[in-house]
Amino acid sequence: QVQLQESGPGLVKPSETLSLTCTVSGGSMTSYYWSWIRQPPGKGLEWIGYIYFSGSTNYESSLKSRVTISVDTSKNQFSLRLSSVTAADTAVYYCARTYGGDFYMDVWGKGTTVTVSS
Amino acid sequence: IQMTQSPSSLSASVGDRVTITCRASQSISTFLNWYQQKPGKAPKLLIYTASSLQSGVPSRFSGSGSGTDFTLTISSLQPEDFATYYCQQGYSTPLAFGGGTKVEI
C-alpha cells in the first residue's frame, strides 16, 4: 500500500525559500505524476504543480515564477521549492500521487503546516 | 478552467439524500473528480472520471454529469459523511478545485 509523507521546516521567514520533500513508500514512482497541493487556513485546496516520474513538470500559472518541483526516483522522493515567500504562502502543504490521463489524486500525504513569519 | 460548487454549505440530517453541484467554466468532458475532507485530515478521493467509485468508498456515494455540469449524490447521509466536499477538474492544466461544499448537521 503506497504511503506518502511530507517533511520540511514548519516555519519560514518572509522572502526566503520554502522547501518540502515527499517520501513515497510501499510502491514505485514509475508511471505516475506526483503533485503538490496547498490549503491556506480556513480555505480551499489549491493545486501547485506536478512532476512526472521522468522529470517533466507543470505548474499553476500564478506560482510558476516561484515554484520548482523535482524528483529523485532513486530515493523515492519528490520535492517542492517555493521562493520569495510571504504570509500568503502560509498553508498546509500536501503531496499526492496523481493518476495520469484523468489527473485525479488517489493517494495523499497527511500534510504539513508551513507558517511564513519573521 | 474555473470550477464553481454549489451550495457552499448545507445542513442535512442522517438519512437525507444530499446533492452537490459542480460547474466548469468550459467543457471538461468527464474529467471531473470528487474528494471528501474532514477537519485536520487530508482529502480522500471518492469519485473519479465523473462517475467511477474509488475502491473502498461506500456505494451511497455516486457521481454523474459531463461537459460542464456535474453532481455528487449521497443517497442516505451517514454520521461519518459530515465533511467538506471538493470537485476537481483533470481535463487540462492548471488542475483546479472547486471552492468546496461543507455538509453540516
- Out of A47, A94, A99, closest to residue B94 by CB: A47
Chain B nearest-CA distance from A3, in A, is 12
Query: C-alpha grid cell for residue A14?
Result: 518572509
**Whole-angstrom distance between the N-terminal and C-terminal Cα of chain B?**
32
In this prediction, residue B1 has a pLDDT band, given cuts at 50, 70 and 90, of very high
In this prediction, residue B23 has a pLDDT band, given cuts at 50, 70 and 90, of very high
pLDDT digits (tens, 9 = 90+) for A59-101: 999 999 999 999 999 999 999 999 999 999 999 999 999 998 8
Cβ-Cβ contacts under 8 Å, B98 against chain A: 44
Which residue in chain B has the smallest CA separation from A42?
B39
Q: Do B90 and A47 touch (CB under 8 A)?
A: no
Residue B41 main-chain phi, psi, to 5 deg: -120, 160
- Distance, in Å, from the CA atom of A94 to the CA atom of A77, rounded to the nearest integer, reads 14
- Distance, in Å, from the CA atom of A5 to the CA atom of A24, rounded to the nearest integer, reads 7
Instruction: Give the mean model confidence (pLDDT) for residues B19-46.
Output: 98
Q: Does B71 touch chain A (CB under 8 A)?
A: no
List the single best residue of A105, A106, A107, A113 to mutate versus B (max B Cβ within 10 A).
A105
pLDDT digits (tens, 9 = 90+) for A8-33: 999 999 999 999 999 999 999 999 99
List the single best residue of B31, B52, B95 to mutate versus A (max A Cβ within 10 A).
B95
Q: Which residues contact B3 (CB under 8 A, 6 or more apart)?
A: B22, B23, B24, B25, B87, B88, B89, B96, B97, B98, B99
In this prediction, residue B105 has a pLDDT band, given cuts at 50, 70 and 90, of confident
CA atoms within 13 A on the CB side of B25: 9
Which residue in chain B has the smallest CA separation from A57?
B93
Cβ-Cβ contacts under 8 Å, A51 against chain B: none
Chain A nearest-CA distance from B75, in A, is 23
pLDDT digits (tens, 9 = 90+) for A31-43: 999 999 999 999 9
